[in-house]
Amino acid sequence: MLVHNFLELSAQNGPAKNAVWFKEQWMTYQEIDNKANSVANYLVAIGIKRGDRVALLYENSHDYIINYYAILKSGAVTVSLNNEITVDSLTYLINDSGAKAIITNKKFSRFLIPALQKTPYLKNIIIEQEDLSAYHEIGHCDQIKLSEIYNSKNYKNPNVRTIDIDLASIVYTSGSTGKAKGVTLSHLNIITNTRSITEYLKLTASDRILVVLPFYYIYGKSLLNTHFSVGGSVVIDNRFAFPNKVLETMANLEVTGFSGVPSTFMILLNKSSVKKYQFDKLRYITQAGGAMAPSIQKEVSAVFDPAELFIMYGATEASARLSYLPPEKLNSKWGSIGIPIPNVDLFVADESGAEKAQGETGQIVARGANIMQGYWNDKIETASVLKNGLYYTGDLGKMDTDGFLYVVGRTKDMIKVGGERISAKEIEEKILEINEIHETAVIGVEDETLGEAVKAFLVLRDNAEIDIMSVRKILSKKLPPVKQPKHYEIVEKLPKNESGKILKSKLKEMCN
């Protein structure tokens, strides 16, 4: 089984089935498969071979999905690029991955054209843009309009021989040194994880997911693959800057599922009219991409009731998912990341990989067929997380007597105050229990006496009024003195990437 077989099998079983909705238009499985074959055949014709890398720089759309599966059909490896790109980062990613071709559209030309001056090994550009004259001056590249390839109507499946241990994707994620790391995932990694997710979510061809997360992000990509694997439908709405528009789509198209990171749900709770909507067909919602405070989980669960809330935990290095909290356990296990997903071992271990006793704190580790092959061109970083036959997540956790896991902190998100290691996550959860607070981020800042001191950035809910002295007074009753922030700053918003994750590195730069 290969990742692009999800599309091919669904097209065979239900060619006329509505597969993807975008900008008021549905495309069927057959239409997507036909266009993907046309692009795949073109890639093969220009010399793309099994294992070659092809970059994909596109916003969520019909075209993204078509070309994602087309690259895989050609036997190549997808390199999905973050849309928040700069010339320098695009140059680095193309060169590091060794991409021989890129598929993109006019929106990104202002970054791609100058980057091409420094990417001599990239030979082919497939772009949706009418005027290609600016690209003609790039001596080492051939260019073609994506629409020309679609219009060729070369619908025959190229049937390039590929096996499931071949690489399917390189997914770049931020590294501890600031340099992006390429997570290498095989077809087997992705297939295994996809099957596990569809099992615990009980997905069927009747399911319809509303996607606001970008597909280049591993969580967003898993929404696509899981629903294509069962012949379900994907609804794309890129207008989350206007959350009520997304809620209208959710109601009008009768979606059965919705997924988000913590900031997604904070926006819906505090900056939308979600409480006024009725979602009759909504069966489940999922949350991953970082810890969501139990107080917020309770609010989300109540707002979307009777839809079931799945709290999930994972990593790009795990093809997305490692654990989930069964919804029926939510009320008795608030704050838990749950139990391992099917076909994954997940436990708390010491540095040697030995499992620690229940209740003891250690690093959360995993093993399973979903774990990455390693970091592209980076043996040192690979060796730091893949050791003793395990994947070391970098998260500190503990397991209760019922076998449910809890994250207590992150090895790289611990603040050392006067010699005591303090979890930023614990402080953030307590701050979010204050009703007037919309979002928060806690970091460590330099302190002459303590080495590090705790600083909390606060974003207030709309029309909320609370001062820092009041916040200090409330937290004095919730946290011991050593864990109480020494510094506070109220800000209008927190810096985030396109998938909604808070960028604490940016906050630390602000403090330097």
State the amino acid at position 62 in one-letter form: H
pLDDT for res 178: 54
Render pLDDT for 176-221 as a digit per residue (tens, 0 to 9). Answer: 445 789 999 999 999 999 999 999 999 999 999 999 999 999 999 9
Is the pLDDT score of 175 beyond 70?
Answer: no
How do strand 339-340 and strand 320-325 relate by DSSP bridges?
antiparallel
| Separation of alpha carbons 46 and 57, rounded Å | 19
Helix (H) or strand (E) holding 250: helix 243-252
Domains delineated in the chain: 21-162 (3.40.50.980), 187-410 (3.40.50.12780), 415-511 (3.30.300.30)
Residue entry with tokens 């060169």: 95
Structure letter (DSSP) for residue 355: B
Is the pLDDT score of 309 beyond 70?
Answer: yes
Q: What percent of the chain has pLDDT over 90?
A: 80
Render pLDDT for 68-118 as a digit per residue (tens, 0 to 9). Answer: 999 999 999 999 999 988 899 999 999 999 999 999 999 999 999 999 999
Residues pairing with 103 in the sheet: 56, 126
Over residues 113-135, mean pLDDT? 93
Residue length of the chain: 512
Residue entry with tokens 């629409």: 147
Global confidence as pTM: 0.86
Contact 344, 366 (CB under 8 A): yes
| Separation of alpha carbons 270 and 340, rounded Å | 32
- Could you tell me how far CA 483 lies from the centroid of its own chain? 30
| Separation of alpha carbons 247 and 239, rounded Å | 10
Sheet architecture: strand order including 77-80: 142-145, 124-128, 101-105, 53-57, 77-80, 167-173, 181-186, 374-375
Residues pairing with 194 in the sheet: none
In the predicted model, what is the mean pLDDT of the chain? Answer: 93
Render pLDDT for 362-395 as a digit per residue (tens, 0 to 9). Answer: 999 999 999 999 999 999 999 999 999 999 998 9
Over residues 408-416, mean pLDDT? 75
pLDDT for res 139: 81
With helix as H, strand as E and coil as C, how does 287-302 read? ECCCCCCHHHHHHHHH
Is the pLDDT score of 133 beyond 70?
Answer: yes
